[in-house]
Chain A
């Protein structure tokens, strides 16, 4: 097998990192080898030509996110790397179970803290971390939600360390995005690289829209046979608008903006050409703050006046529920292994990255003593902002980081630097290793379902560990091999 790779890519060297393609894995069978052979048969020039055509296709189709600066709006694509990332049947089995375990725990946690607060009384997690959290919503206190589900759509960021062990890096329990790229990447692969996929059976990714719609129907109030579901978007100026359109289409429901909805007598309606029509479930893609100017930000023009009132009257369902941000905070993340154990009596199937909590004395001392070895992260940020990577930081950067942590330790966590796994990626210098992560998406109505695979983000810059699109990240198609993946035989 290794011969295949060294023949195909003589200069490819994954170094000390786990390689998602070339590392021998029993249950990957001959697929990685086929892939390498097929790729080298296509050849670098043709590969680049096809990759360029694929990117043009994305621009033409408007599969873009919009970056706004002062006066201009630029539509950018999420760069697409044409060499897929492979997840084996066995790996997926673990990932799937771990994701469901985690979402189950997140929902139980939210039900508890917005209920009796047993986990706090039992001293598992500091009260301050929950009730003092900016994302804790007192409006949710003692307000039960259907099926106990708060996090209807969850994205869990998972990485793989040098040994090939999976680790959870972050939970996204508010309005995680990226699912549209998962499905579009597959379509793109099928159109542009059918010869790469021939004969390899993969778990399909087409079922997401139907599953999401079903979950949205399950949580609708009352016993309606066909409840009216809508997707609430902040509108065309939101950077994830393409995804909102995509999901509305896949679900077959109207895409609405705040001004399309109106609340009368604690019921939600949408304005149509025939007048007001009732709405039963809102899959919202705007954050809590913007939902209802009566309750949250009074200046927000994106939400719907009276929406929270209608929700609390039990006349409409909102997904994700309000107040889930308290559970996916980086500070609470550190407690997730304990949270899982507390509610489920199980060890996490996939562990966290070891995390030092700077609000705790020991964590702070350890962090400050090892700044040059650790990655420090502010708890309230996302998108890779505010992160200092110790081993790669200058003296000045480390001092700035120390000052920031000392100024408000509770706002910081630190983690060891993980050598994220790599995969062969098409670069200017040929096929080279690039670091990547994985964001599986979990839908929960009555029960949880995980879309096979998820979004693989790849840091396109040589040596970079930051996969975020705003910082030079791209994506790959994520192949979950079916258990009979090679039953079709090589073509």
Chain B
């Protein structure tokens, strides 16, 4: 054991989720950008509603009173603070976590999130129109990447750093599966040359969304197939956003927590990560495509959620105890690991002040 520094469970969870929320923002911006390039005259609605489908947001979208057209989908993700999966909501959650983590974070990190939060809060309906949307997406990506860079250069590398990065890679893996899934929802021209061109355009866009376009081109055959793209994003060992790379990194972080910091509780999540790695490597891509990419991605997503839940059970508080992994439990568990537990957050508007004679400056 190298250090004996104290890390509160609450702070470990806060770091994990702060990273997840910011990673979601970047990926959502990537997805929105790519959806825009999928948009083809006459098919706008399908293209944009596909975004709702791959994020499993159908119910949420309807409940918020939106109708399934391009304008509303953009607003739902870029402006609607009341939608918990929107970019403003994710930024808000990231900043709320950052506030609780201030004692552990560098001033530079806090400042950047604070300023970025303000930028996102000022996005207006006009920014979603025409060429502005692409600029907004770029600014959102830039914002998260600035955060990533500042974190790399300033966050102290103790146990907390590992929880931050676990959150990041798990979210990234999940988001990459969703990028791949977007193809599933897109309607293509029926056949012939038009279909071939449209398909090529779409796979290129997916590669761009996954930041893999140029690397893929360097490695791919002159005439590539869908199989090659799926294989690249799913399990290229070097692509920073591939699912396999993210899972391997998660395994390595857990191993470090166990080895360097003597945290034997890392064993259970390590087993889940190992199992997930096997799922990712055992089957050929041809076989995956033949039996259904969408179904396969669902399985990967469920196991990523299991991994998050196992980390939560091992290190954070207020996670449900593991009472055997029955299918029903698995789903409940998975659902709970999609958002941060709220059990101990101080409730707003209850016990707000310190009571009595408040000797605050106010």
Q: B10–A260 contact, CB under 8 A?
A: yes
A235-B346 contact given A273-B12, A273-B159, CB 8 Å threshold: yes
Seed contacts A240-B354, A257-B10; 10 additional CB < 8 Å A-B pairs = A59-B114, A135-B357, A234-B346, A241-B99, A254-B6, A259-B10, A287-B356, A289-B355, A301-B347, A302-B346
Q: Is B326 an interface residue (CB 8 A)?
A: no
Question: Nearest CB to that of A61 among chain B residues?
Answer: B111
A156 → chain B closest CB, angstroms: 12
CA separation between A455 and B100, bound complex, in Å? 26
Q: B351–A290 contact, CB under 8 A?
A: yes
Question: Nearest CB to that of A248 among chain B residues?
Answer: B103
A301-B361 contact given A272-B9, A287-B355, CB 8 Å threshold: no
On chain B, the residues within 8 Å of A59 by CB distance are: 114
Q: B354–A287 contact, CB under 8 A?
A: yes
Which of B102, B317, B352, B361 meets A468, CB within 8 Å?
Answer: B361
Interface residues of B in 238-263 (CB under 8 A from A): 263
On chain B, the residues within 8 Å of A285 by CB distance are: 354
Q: B96–A288 contact, CB under 8 A?
A: no
A354 → chain B closest CB, angstroms: 23
- The 8 A CB mask of B1-34 against A (1 = contact, 0 = none) is 0000011111110000000000000000000000
Number of interface residues of B (CB under 8 A): 43
Q: Is B60 an interface residue (CB 8 A)?
A: no
- The 8 A CB mask of A274-285 against B (1 = contact, 0 = none) is 100100000001
Which of B12, B110, B265, B361 meets A62, CB within 8 Å?
Answer: B110
Q: B107–A61 contact, CB under 8 A?
A: yes
On chain B, the residues within 8 Å of A255 by CB distance are: 102-103
Q: A62–B114 contact, CB under 8 A?
A: yes
On chain A, the residues within 8 Å of B355 by CB distance are: 286-287, 289-290, 297
- The 8 A CB mask of B90-116 against A (1 = contact, 0 = none) is 000000100110110001001100110
On chain A, the residues within 8 Å of B163 by CB distance are: 273
Question: Nearest CB to that of B112 among chain A residues?
Answer: A60
On chain A, the residues within 8 Å of B12 by CB distance are: 273
On chain A, the residues within 8 Å of B11 by CB distance are: 254
On chain A, the residues within 8 Å of B10 by CB distance are: 257, 259-260, 271
A470-B362 contact given A61-B107, A237-B348, CB 8 Å threshold: yes
Q: B354–A382 contact, CB under 8 A?
A: no
On chain B, the residues within 8 Å of A107 by CB distance are: none
Q: A236–B8 contact, CB under 8 A?
A: no
Q: B317–A300 contact, CB under 8 A?
A: no
Q: Which 3 A-B pairs have the closest CB atoms?
A: A235-B346, A259-B344, A470-B362
Which of A174, A271, A302, A470 meets B9, CB within 8 Å?
Answer: A271
Q: Is A221 an interface residue (CB 8 A)?
A: no
On chain B, the residues within 8 Å of A237 by CB distance are: 346, 348, 352
A148 → chain B closest CB, angstroms: 22
Q: Is B291 an interface residue (CB 8 A)?
A: no
Interface residues of B in 184-243 (CB under 8 A from A): none
On chain B, the residues within 8 Å of A178 by CB distance are: 361
Q: Is B359 an interface residue (CB 8 A)?
A: yes
Q: B354–A468 contact, CB under 8 A?
A: no
Q: Is A35 an interface residue (CB 8 A)?
A: no
Q: B361–A270 contact, CB under 8 A?
A: no
Q: B346–A172 contact, CB under 8 A?
A: no
CA separation between A178 and B353, bound complex, in Å? 16
CA separation between A399 and B344, bound complex, in Å? 48
Q: Is A433 an interface residue (CB 8 A)?
A: no
Q: B346–A274 contact, CB under 8 A?
A: no
A239-B8 contact given A61-B111, A286-B354, A290-B355, CB 8 Å threshold: no
Q: B359–A271 contact, CB under 8 A?
A: no
Question: Nearest CB to that of B257 among chain A residues?
Answer: A273
On chain B, the residues within 8 Å of A181 by CB distance are: 361
B66 → chain A closest CB, angstroms: 22
CA separation between A381 and B362, bound complex, in Å? 12
Q: A236–B9 contact, CB under 8 A?
A: no
Question: Nearest CB to that of B1 among chain A residues?
Answer: A274
- The 8 A CB mask of A252-264 against B (1 = contact, 0 = none) is 0011110110000
B291 → chain A closest CB, angstroms: 40
Interface residues of A in 223-257 (CB under 8 A from B): 228, 234-241, 245, 248-249, 254-257
| Chain A interface size range | 35 or more
On chain A, the residues within 8 Å of B345 by CB distance are: 235
A2 → chain B closest CB, angstroms: 34
Q: Is A32 an interface residue (CB 8 A)?
A: no
On chain B, the residues within 8 Å of A236 by CB distance are: 96, 99-100, 346
- The 8 A CB mask of B325-352 against A (1 = contact, 0 = none) is 0000000000000000001111111111
List 10 A–B pairs whose Cβ atoms lie within 8 Å, in order of A's numbering.
Answer: A62-B102, A174-B356, A235-B100, A236-B96, A237-B352, A257-B10, A260-B344, A271-B10, A273-B265, A274-B263
Q: Is B63 an interface residue (CB 8 A)?
A: no
Q: B7–A383 contact, CB under 8 A?
A: no
CA separation between A381 and B356, bound complex, in Å? 9
Q: Is B290 an interface residue (CB 8 A)?
A: no
Which of A60, A135, A239, A241 meets B115, CB within 8 Å?
Answer: A60
B273 → chain A closest CB, angstroms: 18
Q: B8–A270 contact, CB under 8 A?
A: yes
CA separation between A286 and B352, bound complex, in Å? 10
Q: Is A65 an interface residue (CB 8 A)?
A: yes
Q: Is A155 an interface residue (CB 8 A)?
A: yes
Q: B354–A234 contact, CB under 8 A?
A: yes
On chain B, the residues within 8 Å of A60 by CB distance are: 111, 114-115
Interface residues of A in 297-321 (CB under 8 A from B): 297, 300-302
Q: A238–B99 contact, CB under 8 A?
A: no
Which of A68, A235, A249, A383 meets B358, CB within 8 Å?
Answer: A383
CA separation between A79 and B111, bound complex, in Å? 19
Q: A271–B353 contact, CB under 8 A?
A: no
B46 → chain A closest CB, angstroms: 37
Q: Is B315 an interface residue (CB 8 A)?
A: yes
Q: Is A88 an interface residue (CB 8 A)?
A: no
Question: Nearest CB to that of A234 among chain B residues?
Answer: B354
Q: Is A204 an interface residue (CB 8 A)?
A: no
Which of A68, A273, A277 meets B352, CB within 8 Å?
Answer: A68
CA separation between A9 and B313, bound complex, in Å? 66
B353 → chain A closest CB, angstroms: 7
Q: Is A78 an interface residue (CB 8 A)?
A: yes
Which of B343, B352, B361 meets A78, CB within 8 Å?
Answer: B361
Question: Nearest CB to that of A296 among chain B residues?
Answer: B355
Q: Is A176 an interface residue (CB 8 A)?
A: yes
Q: B362–A468 contact, CB under 8 A?
A: yes
On chain B, the residues within 8 Å of A290 by CB distance are: 351, 354-355
On chain A, the residues within 8 Å of B356 by CB distance are: 135, 174, 287-289, 325
Most buried by B among A78, A273, A286, A297: A273
B265 → chain A closest CB, angstroms: 8
Q: B360–A177 contact, CB under 8 A?
A: yes
Which of B6, B352, B361 meets A457, CB within 8 Å?
Answer: B361
CA separation between A282 and B103, bound complex, in Å? 16
On chain B, the residues within 8 Å of A241 by CB distance are: 99
